[in-house]
Amino acid sequence: MSPWRQGLFLMWRFLGRGKSHPTAVVLAVGWGTLSMMILLAFGEGLKQAFAEGRGALTEANLVVLWSGSTTKAWQGMKPGRAIRFWDEDLQALKRSIPEIDEVAAERSSWSTSLAWGRSAITARVNGVFPCYERIRSHIPQPGGRFINEEDMRLRRRVIFLGPELKTRLFGDKEAVGQTIMVRGVPFSVIGIMIEKRQMGMYGGPDIAKATIPITTYAAMFGDNPYHNLVYTVKAPARPADIETRVRETLAARQRFDPADEGCVRFWDTVKMREISDKIVIGLQIFLGIVGGMTLLVAGVGLANMLFVLVHRRTREIGMQMAIGAKPTVVIARTVGESLILAGIGGYVGIALSWLIVEGVQRLPIQNEAMQFLGKPTLSIPLGVITVLVLVGIGCLAGALPARRASRLNPVEALRHE
């Protein structure tokens, strides 16, 4: 039997006996792995939630335009003049800027009363164009549809509901095909939007809004200007590339200075995505640093524990050397012990983090905070790296004092208190 095998045999035979405190080492590595894995799992969940929410508003190079008022005198007109968007503005944009893919307008009515049976609530109702479905990801659940051209032409009283709104009105009951009252006027529910998570929004989350054809909206609420325009830009063009031309087109129609930034406010979601990308990278760097520090603390604790373990065993090592154990036996036993204990600790840590992550995923809490927290996702490769790092630290922390002890004169080791 080689000295390495002798050392490993001793380790195996006496693991957990005497002063070795294996539970403490297992717990130290397990805790380090657990902390690291949970941190990374929640970080990954947050990152995914960010990416998903961002996707809900920026999937097609979306730009939202709001009208403001002039801040400069222009062509004999005083500053402070309100700018309003009309259908002609929308058509002008569509005609003069070929990079614009689709353009739509929105008109909104806040706190509109909606009623179905005994349920009565208030919500925001938007008048929109059919292409809004694609531009703003108003995708209907199976069994329903979005507003179409016929609805527009015939000014049908049809309504498309956000899922949260549907639940508030109908609970679990089927809504499509039902008639609800909008400010006392009956509307047929034609579809329910699929669930979507928004990290960026204006006028509240889409899941809590109702949409009707903009022509029906005009008939019901009056033919007023649009509240805002939304358009998408054809790739490879970017919204920033055509922003000046959009401003000039609208300025020519509405007679304001194209350099007067107060007249039209742009929300370029591509720019927002770039910013949020940077936030995600920052978040990852932050989590990496916190994770690294956690690992460092766990490693130092583990190293200290193993150092004490070997130190307390010095006399025993001296006795073994006196009766013929070679230095390799001493090192093999300690390294083997570090490997086994750190390995078990790592396994326990990964198993516990898996349990916790699974538990969190199954929690019935559906509030927004939990939604923004996202779905924690375990990264097994990172877990394995964590365990390997801790095992490596464990091996070093065990091997160095064991090597020192194995080089001691057996007499000195035997005298060790």
Where in 222-310 does DSSP place strands (E)?
A: 228-233, 264-268
Least separation in angstroms between CB 8 and other proteins = 11
Among 184, 236, 324, 364, binds other proteins (CB under 8 A): 324
Q: Is 181 exposed, middle or buried (0-12, 13-18, 19+ CB in 10 A)?
A: middle
User: Is residue 321 within the footprint of other proteins (CB under 8 A)?
Assistant: yes
Using the minimum distance from each CB to other proteins, give the nearer residue, 228 or 314. 314
280 touches other proteins (CB under 8 A): no
CB of 304 to other proteins, least distance (A): 23
* Residue 22 lies near other proteins (rule: CB under 8 A): no
Using CB under 8 A as the binding rule, whether residue 329 contacts other proteins is answered as yes
Of the residues 245, 271, 326, 375, which one makes contact with other proteins according to CB under 8 A? 326
In the chain, the amino acid numbered 52 is: E
Interaction of residue 10 with other proteins, rule CB under 8 A: yes
Based on the shown chain and the rule CB under 8 A, indicate whether residue 319 belongs to the binding site for other proteins: yes
In the beta sheet, which residues pair with residue 349?
none
Decide if residue 289 touches other proteins (CB under 8 A): no
Lookup result for tokens 């020519």: 252
Give strand pairing partners of 150: none
Q: Which of 120, 322, 355, 380 binds other proteins (CB under 8 A)?
A: 322
Q: Which of the residues 296 through 315 are near other proteins (CB under 8 A)?
A: 315
By CB under 8 A, residue 417 contacts other proteins:
no
CB 324, min distance to other proteins, A: 2
* Least Cβ distance, residue 26 to other proteins (angstroms): 18
Shorter beta-carbon distance to other proteins: residue 84 or 415: 415
What does each C-alpha distance from 23 to 132, 225, 305 come to in angstroms?
Answer: 61, 72, 11
Neighbours of 203 (CB within 10 A): 14
Which residue type does 79 have?
P
CB 136 within 8 A of CB 206: yes
407 near other proteins (CB under 8 A): yes
Tell me how far apart the 2 most distant CA atoms of the chain are, in Å: 108
9 binds other proteins (CB under 8 A): yes
Q: Strand 119-128 to strand 209-213: parallel, antiparallel, or no bridges (unpaired)?
A: parallel
The residue from 12, 18, 274, 300 that contacts other proteins (CB under 8 A) is 18
* CA 281/CA 39 separation, integer angstroms: 16
> Which one, of 69, 63, 90, 95, lies nearest residue 81 by Cα?
69
Which of 15, 8, 95 has its CA nearest to residue 309? Answer: 15
316 binds other proteins per the rule CB under 8 A: yes
**Tokens at 46, concatenated:** 């947050």
Binding stretches for other proteins (CB under 8 A): 1-2, 6, 9-10, 13-14, 17-19, 315-316, 319-329, 407, 409-411, 414
